[in-house]
Amino acid sequence: MILCNLPVLLAERRLKVADLIRMTGISKSTMHKIYNEQTSRIDFETMDKICEALNIQVGDLFTYIPNKDQDSK
């Protein structure tokens, strides 16, 4: 499972989703889907804009957690 750390990253910087939207130009609906982990894919361009705006690496934005059902195999 891939978890998005965007809520934590914004909280650490005392930013709101609206602030990041203004900083990146990413649409409101796209940003809210990412923030609420309701998206199944993200464009490289979108990740690039978020990473640039927050001065982070892609690995800071996402965390990989192995699926439990795969651990039993």
Q: Which two tokens stand for residue 16?
A: 């709101």
Between residues 29 and 72, which one has the greater pLDDT?
29
Whole-model pTM? 0.87
- pLDDT for 41 equals 93
23 burial type by CB count under 10 A (0-12 exposed, 13-18 middle, 19+ buried): middle
Q: Strand, helix or coil at 60?
A: helix
Domains and their CATH numbers in the chain:
2-71 (1.10.260.40)
Q: Give the pLDDT band of residue 70 (cuts 50, 70, 90).
A: low
